[in-house]
Amino acid sequence: MMEWLLVPVAYLTGSVSSAIIVCKLMGLGDPRENGSGNPGATNVMRIGGKKAAAITLFGDAIKGLLPVLLAKVLAVDSLILSLVVFAAFLGHLYPLFFGFKGGKGVATSFGVTLGVDWLLGLAVSGTWFLVYKIGKISSLSALVAACLTPVYVWYIVGDIYLVATFMLISLILLWRHKSNIQRLLAGQET
């Protein structure tokens, strides 16, 4: 029964906003009030440069990775593992500690995929890098990788709860990137 406590722990871990913390420590101001207003690595790069963005990206991925690894070390069943995955992701989108205004979830979703299976993380990141090498558009790379993640989960992990969870995460990532999709369709995405 104690294993169910991993779900709120994962949400609370996901609620730690790397972007806000990094910007505060580096004297860059609140990313929710600067640049695009999104507390994520891309906006941090706009307002603080590559170093700040890299630290943010790493922090966002780690907060997805750690609760999933803990759940795996504790050998929880696949339903609880799926809930831990989703809770960490949801914490990033709607962080308790920062007024429920979070980022779009790409780095944290990568962290949870890596936690589920390193081959899954490799497949997702490989897709992102391949699409980015061809198109040079980060949001397009993230969207293609997100759409393919449930397929990778099916072939690499084969667990129906995780497939369903990553389908939901992919749909949410698409929804959170709707403005990027509109710009992509209009040929205006940088």
Q: How far is CA 75 from CA 5, 6, 106, 116, in A?
A: 14, 12, 26, 12
Is position 51 within any domain?
A: yes
Which range marks the domain in which residue 181 is found?
2-185
Is position 126 within any domain?
A: yes
Whole-model pTM: value is: 0.92
pLDDT tens track for 76-131? 999 999 999 999 999 999 999 888 888 899 999 999 999 999 999 999 999 999 99
Given pLDDT bands bounded at 50, 70 and 90, which one contains residue 1? low
Is position 190 within any domain?
A: no
Is position 98 within any domain?
A: yes
Count structural domains, the chain: 1
pLDDT tens track for 57-78? 999 999 999 999 999 999 999 9
Average pLDDT over residues 165-183: 92
